């Protein structure tokens, strides 16, 4: 079998691959030339099990789990799926911003538990999104799509690119009502938002993460959230699917299970791109979206 995937990806493009073995990466696969993965760890030990491998095609834009240098040394192409999940992830970012600022999770829980006993004109007040300052950390495709949406919500937008200086990031954290993370996970961004930086956030401000959990010091974030000083909307965690126990009972955090790209059209387009990359490389053509 020339093609192996860790699971079947959704959408009609899949059938164009022909025969695909679905298996874990635990065993040796001497004939496999194309590997389709969804951000599973691909290190030297895994690559050694695939001596004929020509391409690792990742279903997802983030490829932090893949040893890209190791692949390059072996002449293996690595591809990802940029572009096609930008709107889905930017929409989810805004869903979290609105959910946190307008206390949607808390409100929903109150209605469902039949604890809603007051008339609308009393209490349960939240923060206005319009007029607030949004700080975007990482201005790639998704960060830019979030910035465009923020203009429609009459927000003031600040941003730092991942290449900018520590001082610029610190200034953005101090000045923002809402901070949203859109940097890739790399050795430079691992733990970027550490305890010192979390402490720079204004009282009552909000941190949104739809990028990668490891960009934030999760234990330090838990401490800030338990103290009630800040709010958060979190779609990603350091050790998924584990979510720190302390967060589960908090009303100042909205939690979702890594849903950034989870729309039917985004996922089908991701499969299309994975398949096109694999077929191109197996034909001997250049990949469409190499990393």
**Residues designated catalytic:** 212, 240, 258
Q: Which of 25, 33, 36, 39 binds ligand DGY (CB under 6 A)?
A: 39
Rounded Cα gap, residues 226 and 230, in angstroms:
9
Question: Is 209 strand, coil or helix?
Answer: strand
Residue with the two structure tokens 């979030």: 146
Site stretch for ligand DGY (CB under 6 A), options 1-9, 60-68, 70-78, 192-200: 60-68
Nearest residue (CB) to ligand DGY, 240 versus 285? 240
User: Which residues in the 172-191 window bind ligand DGY by CB under 6 A?
Assistant: none
Q: How far is the CB of 261 from ligand DGY (least distance, A)?
A: 5
The string over 115-145, giving b where at least 16 C-beta atoms fall within 10 Å of a residue's C-beta and e elsewhere, is eeeeeeeeeeeeeebeebbbbbbbbbbbbeb
Quick check: 261 binds ligand DGY (CB under 6 A)?
yes
Quick check: 135 binds ligand DGY (CB under 6 A)?
no
Asked whether 58 and 5 are in contact (CB, 8 A), the reply is no
Q: How far is the CB of 61 from ligand DGY (least distance, A)?
A: 4
* Sheet strands side by side (includes 253-255): 156-160, 133-137, 178-181, 206-209, 231-234, 253-255
Asked whether 211 and 184 are in contact (CB, 8 A), the reply is yes
User: Which residues in the 70-109 window bind ligand DGY by CB under 6 A?
Assistant: 85
Rounded Cα gap, residues 210 and 235, in angstroms:
5
Residue 159 is inside which H or E element, if any?
Answer: strand 156-160
Rounded Cα gap, residues 143 and 135, in angstroms:
10
Q: Which of 145, 260, 276, 287 binds ligand DGY (CB under 6 A)?
A: 260
Nearest residue (CB) to ligand DGY, 103 versus 182? 182
Nearest residue (CB) to ligand DGY, 138 versus 260? 260
Q: How far is the CB of 237 from ligand DGY (least distance, A)?
A: 12
Quick check: 143 binds ligand DGY (CB under 6 A)?
no
Give the binding site for ligand DGY (CB under 6 A).
39, 60-62, 85, 260-261
């Amino acid at each position: 079998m020339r093609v192996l995937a860790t699971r079947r990806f959704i959408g009609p493009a899949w059938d164009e691959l022909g025969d695909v073995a679905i298996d874990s990466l635990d065993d040796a696969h001497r004939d496999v030339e194309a590997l389709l993965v969804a951000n599973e760890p691909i290190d030297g030990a895994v690559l050694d099990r695939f001596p004929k491998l020509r391409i690792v095609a990742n279903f997802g834009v983030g490829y932090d789990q893949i040893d890209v240098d190791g692949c390059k040394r072996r002449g293996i192409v690595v591809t990802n799926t940029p572009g096609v999940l930008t709107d889905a992830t930017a929409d989810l970012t805004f869903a979290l911003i609105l959910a946190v600022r307008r206390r949607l999770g808390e409100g929903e829980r109150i209605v469902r538990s039949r604890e809603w006993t007051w008339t609308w004109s009393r209490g349960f007040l939240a923060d206005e999104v319009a007029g607030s300052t949004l700080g975007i950390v990482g201005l790639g495709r998704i960060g830019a799509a979030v910035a465009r949406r923020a203009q429609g919500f009459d927000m003031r937008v600040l941003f730092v690119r991942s290449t900018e200086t520590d001082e610029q990031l610190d200034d953005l954290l101090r000045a923002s009502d809402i901070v949203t993370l859109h940097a890739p996970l790399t050795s430079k961004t691992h733990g970027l938002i550490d305890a010192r930086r979390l402490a720079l956030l204004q009282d009552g401000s909000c941190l949104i993460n739809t990028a990668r959990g490891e960009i934030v010091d999760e234990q330090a974030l838990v401490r800030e959230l338990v103290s009630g000083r800040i709010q958060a909307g979190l779609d990603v965690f350091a050790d998924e699917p584990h979510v720190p126990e302390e967060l589960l009972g908090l009303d100042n955090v909205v939690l979702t299970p890594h849903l950034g790209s989870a729309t039917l059209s985004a996922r089908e387009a991701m499969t299309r791109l994975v398949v096109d990359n694999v077929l191109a490389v197996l034909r001997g053509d250049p990949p469409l979206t190499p990393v």
